[in-house]
Structure 1
C-alpha cells in the first residue's frame, strides 16, 4: 500500500521538525520524506478528506519502521488516535509488543466486544489477557466473567496445586474462632472481583473528578475483619489512601504519607481520615461517598501551596513543574518543543492576559489537573459572566443573576468531557438560543431586554475565541486544565456546581440557626434538612429563599454571613512540604 505524496507544505514542516531536533539537512534523508508523507495523511484526515484505514495504517507503520522516534513519535500517536476511532487496533505482538507505549490510553471508537461507538479505555494485560479497548459496560461484563472463571478454576483446583493457569492469590484459611465471635469465610475469586466492581462504583464521583483509579487493587484478608481492598489514588501530585472493607461495610479515605520517599513531589489531599458506611448494593452508598468527598474538597480542583520553610529553589521548581504540567499536553498536541509553545502563548496578547491574571494571580495555587465540573464553572465565569456584556446589562437583582449563572453552569456541564474535551459549538448554540429558559419558563433573552443582542454577540465572540485556542493552539487537555483553574478562583467560590456546594450551604444554615435566625418560609416550618435538600437545585427554590442564602438579611452587622461573605466558601488549601531540603533536615 502506498500513501499519497506530501505537499510542499508537508515537506517544509517535516524539515522544520527535523531541524528543531538537531538533525542537519544532509542527514535528513528518507526519514524526513516518510515524515512528510505521514504529515500529509494526518492533514487530510484532520481536515475531513477521505482517508482509508489502510492508508492511515501504512503511514503509521512507515513512521515506525523508518523515522527516528524523536521525529515520528507524536505523528504516530496522532495516527494511532485516528485508527482507534475506526476500530483498528494492533495485535499483542505487533511492533515488538510495545505499541501500547504510544497508542492512546482512551478515546472514542467502536468497542472491541460490543462494536458500538463509545468512550473507550485501553486495558492492560491481566491474567494473560491482551491489551484491548473496551467501553465501560463491556469492561464491567469482562470483570464479572473473569471473576466467575477464576472462581470455577479455584473450585476445580481443590486440593491440587496448579501453576499452569494464573489465578488470583489465595488467602489464609479460617481460624478457630473464640467463643461468641464470628469467622468470615475466605472469599472466592469471584467475590474479590465483585468487591472491586462495587468499590469502583462507590468511587465514581472521584473518578469523574480526575482521580486515577488503579487497574488492580491491593488486597488483604483477616478471618475476623474480612476482606480489604486498598490503594493510593492520585490526581496529579496529590494523593490519598482508599481502604474498602466490604464485610465491615465501610470505606475509608485517608491521608497519604510518603513514608518511603518514593514520591518527593507528592502531597496529601487529606489531613484527617474519613470513614463512610457503605451498603454492599444500591446507589445511596455512592451518593454518601460523593457527599463526603465533596465536603472534603476532593471533587473540586486542588489548591496547594509550598511550605514557607521550603528553600527558594524548591519553590521555583514547584512553579516550573506546574507550568510544564499545564502546557506539556499542548506541546504534544502541536508537535512543538515546550519552549516554542510557551513563546507562542506569550505572544498571544489575549491569552497571555488570561494566563497572567487568572492562572498566575487569582488561581495561583490551583493544581493543573483536569476537573470537568471545575472546567464547566470556568467557562461560565470567563465566557459568560466576565469578558462579555453580561455585567454591562446586570439584571435587576443578584438573585436573578444567580439563577442565570446556575442555568449557564448546567449547560456547560453537559458539554465538558475529560476524554473528548469541550464542545464549544454546542455550548454556544445553547447559550444563544432564544428558547433557552430558566426552570420557571422565563426565556433568558427576555431578562436582558434590548441588551440581549450585545450579550449574545460578546458571549459568542468569547466562546469562538476559546474554540480557536482549543483547536489550533492549546489542544483539549491544556484547555481543560486552564478552564479548571479558571473555575477554581475566588470568582466562583460561592457558585453552585462545585463539589463543596452542599457542605457550604449546610454551614450557612447551621450558622443562621445557631444565631437564632428564622429560616425563610416555607422552611421555617419544614426545617433545615428540607432546605438543604432543596438547595441541591437552588435555581428552583423561591426567590426569597435564594436571597436569604446569599446575604442572611436578618443577621445584622455583626451576625453570621451568607454565601456572599462567609469565609467557609474558600476552598481548603493543601501544602507541599519538601522537608528533606530544609537546613535542619538531618
Structure 2
C-alpha cells in the first residue's frame, strides 16, 4: 500500500521525532521520508479528510516499525483509535503480542456483532473467541451464551436479540406489582428515560466517570424498558442498569471474570439496587448516597494482585505514570519523555511525586475527582508545607473546624473542566475577614503567627499555580491533587463521598456498645445527629469531639472516627492472570 507523499511540515516533524529518539542518522534519507508520510496520513485523517482504512493501517504499521511505542509522541495510539473507528482489530500475535499497550480499550466504531456505530469496549481472545470490539448490548448477549454453554443458566431462554444480562434481571420486590405487559416506549419516552438516568448519575459524572454518549437499550413486555452500559473511570469499571418502569437503578460489579479487558478492574464487589422515582431530587440524593457509601465518589484505591508477574506490576506502574503525565505532555506539546525529564529535574515537584504520589498515595488511581482534589489542596497547601502546623491550634476539634472551612473554600474553586482557581483560593484563605460559621475570624485563632501562616500558604499556592500553568497543565495538576487528597493523611476528613457512611458506622457502633449519644442528640436521636454531621463545623464542639474519639468507650470499646476502620477506603484489585498462561 502506497502512502501519499508528505508535506514539508510533516518532514520537519519527522526529523524532530527522529532527533528526540536519538536515531537521526538511521532515519535520514528514505527512513525520515517514510516517517513523514505516516505523520501526514495522521494529520489528514484528524483533519477530517478521506483516508482509507488500508492507508491508515499501512501508516500505523510503518510507524510501529520506525519508532517504538514508548518513545513516540502518541501518534501510534491515535492511529490505532482511528482504525478502531473503521472496525480494524489486530490478531493476538500481531506486533509481538503487545499491541494492547497502545490500542484503545474503549473507542467508537462499528460493533463486530450488530454492525452499529456505538461506544465499544475491547475484549480479548479467550475460550475460542477472537479479539473484538463490542457494544454493551452485544457483550451482554455474548455473556449469556457463554453462561448457557457452561450450564450456569439452564432455565434462561436465549434472546432473539441483544437483551438484558440474565444475572441482572431483578425479580419484583415483595409488595411491588410485577409488570406483566407494557407498551413499547416511543422515541420521546426513550429520550425522557435517558435524561432522567443522567440526572440520577450526576454525582458519578462529577466524580470523574465517563457517561456514554449513547446508552444501550432493550425492551420486553414483561420487564419493560432498560438502559444499560459500563461506566469507566480510568481502568475501573462498573455496570449500570436502569429500569424506568420498575423504577430501579442497579450499580453492579463490572463482569470481567474471563479477563476480557486486560487493564481493567471492577469498582464494586456487590450489586447495589436503588429505588428511583421517575422525577424529583430524592432519588438523585439516594443514588449519590449509595455511590458515596461504596466509595465511588472518592478516588479509587487499587493494588496489583500478589500473584501478578513482575512484568505486569511494572506495566501497571508505567501505565499509571502515562495516565498522569500524558495530558501534561499534550498541554506542553512535548514528547512524554521530554516532559518527564522536566518533571524529574524539578526538585520541589519531584519531592511531591516521590512522597505523595509514589508512597503515601501509591495505590491511588490517577483520575480527576474534584472533591478529592479539593482535599488535596487543603492538605498540601494549607496543613502541610506551611506554618499552620507550627502554630497548631489548642484542640483537635478546633483544628478540624478550620480544616473543614478550608475544604469548603477549595471545593468552590476546583472544576474538572477548568481546573483549579489558585488565585481565588489564595485570596479567600488569606483574607483577614475569613471566619468560621460561628463568626470567629480564622486569623484570630493563630494570633501573632497569622502572618507566617498567610505568607507560607500564599507561597505554596503560588508555587502550585506556577507549576499548573507552566509545567503540568490543568488535567495533570487535578490528578496530582486528587491523589494528594486521597492518602491516609485525609482518610478521616470531611469532604469525601464516604463521610456520611463513616459517621453512621461510628454512631451505630456506639449505640451497639450502649454508649449515649452527645447532647442534644441523646433526645433527638441518631438520624438527627447524622443529618447535622453533614455540616460538622456547625455542630457544638462537644458533638464533634464525641465523633472523633468516643469518650467513655474504654480501651476495648468502639472507636471514634480517628481510629475507626471504616475510615479506610475500599481497595480494588487488578489481577492480570490472563497476561501469563491464560488460566485463572
Deviation at 1:333, TM superposition (A): 1.2
- 1:118: which partner in 2? none
SS in 2 for 1:257: coil
Deviation at 1:585, TM superposition (A): 2.1
Equivalent residue in structure 1 for 2:437, among 436, 439, 442: 439
Does residue 470 of structure 2 align to residue 475 of structure 1? no
| Contact 1:18–1:71, Cα closer than 8 Å, also in 2 | no
Deviations 1:55-94 (A, max 9, x none): xxxxxxxxxxxx97859999x9xxx9xxxxxxxxxxxx96
| Contact 2:259–2:576, Cα closer than 8 Å, also in 1 | no
Determine the C-alpha separation between the residues in 1 that align with 2:542 and 2:272: 35
Deviation at 1:261, TM superposition (A): 4.2
SS in 1 for 2:446: helix
- 2:281: which partner in 1? 283
Report how many residues are paired. Answer: 462
Deviation at 1:17, TM superposition (A): 6.8
Determine the C-alpha separation between the residues in 1 that align with 2:387 and 2:534: 29
Equivalent residue in structure 2 for 1:223, among 218, 221, 224: 221
Deviations 1:410-446 (A, max 9, x none): 1111111111111111111111111111111111111
- 2:367: which partner in 1? 369
- 1:266: which partner in 2? 264
Deviation at 1:581, TM superposition (A): 3.6
Equivalent residue in structure 2 for 1:428, among 426, 429, 436: 426
Equivalent residue in structure 1 for 2:230, among 229, 232, 237: 232
Deviation at 1:457, TM superposition (A): 0.4
| Contact 1:406–1:539, Cα closer than 8 Å, also in 2 | yes
Structure 1 segment 89-488 matched on structure 2, within 5 A = 95-96=49-50, 182-258=180-256, 261-488=259-486
Deviation at 1:555, TM superposition (A): 0.9
Deviation at 1:258, TM superposition (A): 2.1
Please, which runs of 5 or more residues in structure 2 have no aligned partner? 1-11, 53-76, 79-107, 111-160, 164-176
Determine the C-alpha separation between the residues in 2 that align with 1:97 and 1:283: 48
| Contact 1:19–1:25, Cα closer than 8 Å, also in 2 | no
Deviations 1:478-508 (A, max 9, x none): 1110000000000000000000000000000
Bigger mean CA deviation after superposition, 331-340 or 253-262: 253-262
- 1:562: which partner in 2? 560
Determine the C-alpha separation between the residues in 1 that align with 2:195 and 2:178: 32
Deviation at 1:20, TM superposition (A): 2.6
Change (3 A) 1:125 1:305: closer
Determine the C-alpha separation between the residues in 2 that align with 1:186 and 1:229: 14
TM-score, normalised relative to structure 2? 0.73
Change (3 A) 1:72 1:125: closer
- 1:20: which partner in 2? 20
- 1:39: which partner in 2? none
Change (3 A) 1:397 1:188: same
Deviation at 1:263, TM superposition (A): 1.2
Determine the C-alpha separation between the residues in 2 that align with 1:556 and 1:504: 20
Does residue 538 of structure 2 align to residue 540 of structure 1? yes
Deviation at 1:328, TM superposition (A): 1.0
Change (3 A) 1:531 1:360: same
Change (3 A) 1:433 1:218: same
Determine the C-alpha separation between the residues in 1 that align with 2:224 and 2:547: 45
Determine the C-alpha separation between the residues in 2 that align with 1:211 and 1:366: 16
| Contact 2:302–2:365, Cα closer than 8 Å, also in 1 | yes
Determine the C-alpha separation between the residues in 1 that align with 2:256 and 2:14: 44
Taking only aligned residues, the RMSD between alpha carbons, in angstroms, comes to: 3.7
Change (3 A) 1:224 1:398: same
Determine the C-alpha separation between the residues in 2 that align with 1:234 and 1:498: 20
Determine the C-alpha separation between the residues in 1 that align with 2:462 and 2:580: 48
Determine the C-alpha separation between the residues in 1 that align with 2:189 and 2:271: 27
